[in-house]
């Protein structure tokens, strides 16, 4: 096709799209006014020149292969602005690159003579609007998700409030029972002492009762306070080198009277080579006494409790507190260490607890870098096992926790 025949493309000058036509040799046959304005390339400067030499990036396989397919009469090929932002580089007045959507199709102008028509559409504004819409969609989705999350958190908070309300009622019931009973005992003992004669044995008996009941009250209050501190992360440990056997024997001594009153025996088994361990003496004594108290509470008269200490192969101290008591139903085991859990039961002699003992034990053991586990079967007794590092508490536990 000669250049003199390009007049047939004059109508393309009036189409509001960039139009370029080339022959099989990629010689430019037409270059309309929109392309002249967009690219600042005049008709006379480019017509008659090889397009691929003028715009060498179009010689790349991803363009050239599609041009060749179009020349063979293939279907029009659309170059997406997302993958091909521009076909012919051109700047907007603000200096940004003009985004283009280009369609390439072949046209037969004579027998076996095809030209390639490149139709370039300026989609800058459309793409900007599309991006704005997509951003609004993303923002909307994020806001919807945020509101869903907030609603879910609100529902969970409301659920927790309901549970807290129930727990508050249960705590008040426990307090009303567990505080009223010992206080009543103290009051009755005091009245009896006041009415008695100077019978020394009588006074000693009820004085001992007052001390014992007062101690149980102090223990109850301390359990509440310690549980509150561990929940808030404000328990302060006071590490010192301790003989864990001495702590165990002290706990046995404390619970011995209670065990004897229920005709329950307590045996101990300690290796002789356990080294001193850095622990908080009073907190670990609290752990041992709570475990033994729990064992006494749920063991029937004539039963037995054993406290055994050993060192395992991984240099951990294992403490086993086993009883022959009534055991724990399997369904209660997962919630055993929860404060005020639904598993709370009366002891074999009708004893009631605060529901804090095992939860407090777990918290104190973990503060020492250890762990606690339990094995039990209803009617066949229970074994609690503490695992404590032989190295004791690290320096980080000496600060407020």
* CA–CA dist 41, 54 (Å, integer): 10
Contact 127, 100 (CB under 8 A): no
Give all strands (DSSP E) within 72-128, no chain letters: 77-79, 100-110, 113-122
Contact 401, 366 (CB under 8 A): no
Cα separation of the two ends of the chain: 89
Could you tell me the domains of the chain?
A: 3-122 (3.30.450.20), 235-398 (3.30.565.10)
Verdict on whether the full-model pTM lies above 0.85: no
By C-alpha distance, which of 15, 4, 42 is closest to 117? 15
Q: What are the pLDDT tens digits along the chain (401 aa)?
A: 444 444 555 666 667 789 999 999 999 998 999 899 888 899 899 999 999 999 999 999 988 888 888 888 878 888 888 788 888 888 888 888 888 888 998 888 776 788 999 989 888 888 778 878 888 888 888 888 888 988 888 888 888 888 776 766 666 555 555 565 566 666 676 666 766 656 677 677 766 667 666 665 666 666 666 656 555 556 678 889 999 999 999 888 888 877 888 899 999 999 888 889 999 988 898 899 889 988 988 899 899 999 999 988 888 899 999 999 988 888 888 878 876 555 556 555 445 544 567 888 888 899 889 999 999 888 889 999 999 998 877 544 443 43
């Amino acid at each position: 096709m000669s250049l003199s025949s390009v007049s047939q493309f004059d109508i393309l000058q009036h189409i509001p799209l960039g139009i370029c036509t080339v022959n099989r040799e990629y010689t430019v046959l037409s270059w309309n006014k929109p392309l002249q304005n967009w690219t600042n390339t005049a008709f006379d400067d480019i017509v008659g020149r090889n397009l691929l030499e003028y715009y060498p990036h179009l010689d790349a396989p991803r363009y050239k292969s599609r041009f060749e397919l179009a020349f063979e009469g293939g279907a029009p090929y659309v170059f997406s602005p997302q993958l091909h932002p521009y076909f012919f580089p051109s700047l907007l007045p603000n200096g940004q690159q003009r985004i283009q959507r280009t369609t390439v199709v072949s046209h037969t102008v004579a027998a076996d003579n095809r030209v390639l028509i490149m139709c370039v559409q300026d989609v800058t504004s459309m793409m900007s609007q599309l991006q704005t819409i997509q951003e609004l969609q993303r923002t909307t989705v994020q806001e919807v998700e945020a509101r869903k999350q907030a609603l879910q958190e609100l529902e969970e908070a409301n659920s927790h409030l309901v549970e807290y309300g129930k727990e508050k009622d249960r705590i008040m019931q426990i307090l009303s029972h567990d505080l009223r009973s010992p206080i009543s005992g103290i009051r009755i003992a005091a009245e009896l002492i006041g009415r008695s004669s100077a019978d020394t044995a009588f006074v000693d008996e009820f004085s001992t009762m007052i001390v014992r009941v007062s101690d149980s009250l102090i223990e109850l209050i301390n359990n509440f306070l310690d549980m509150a501190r561990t929940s808030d992360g404000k328990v302060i440990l006071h590490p010192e080198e301790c003989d864990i056997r001495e702590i165990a024997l002290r706990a046995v001594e404390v619970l011995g009277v209670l065990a004897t009153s229920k005709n329950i025996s307590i045996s101990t088994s300690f290796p002789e080579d356990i080294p001193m361990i850095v622990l908080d003496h009073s907190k670990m004594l609290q752990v041992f006494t709570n475990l033994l108290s729990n064992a006494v509470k749920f063991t029937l008269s004539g039963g037995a409790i054993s406290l055994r200490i050993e060192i395992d192969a991984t240099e951990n101290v294992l403490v086993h507190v086993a009883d022959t008591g009534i055991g724990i139903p399997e369904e209660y085991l997962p919630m055993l260490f929860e404060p005020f859990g639904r598993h709370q039961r009366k002891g074999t002699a009708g004893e009631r607890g605060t529901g804090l003992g095992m939860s407090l034990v777990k918290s104190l053991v973990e503060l020492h870098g250890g762990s606690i586990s339990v094995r039990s079967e209803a009617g066949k007794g229970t074994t609690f096992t503490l695992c404590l590092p032989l190295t004791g508490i690290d320096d980080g536990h000496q600060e407020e926790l």
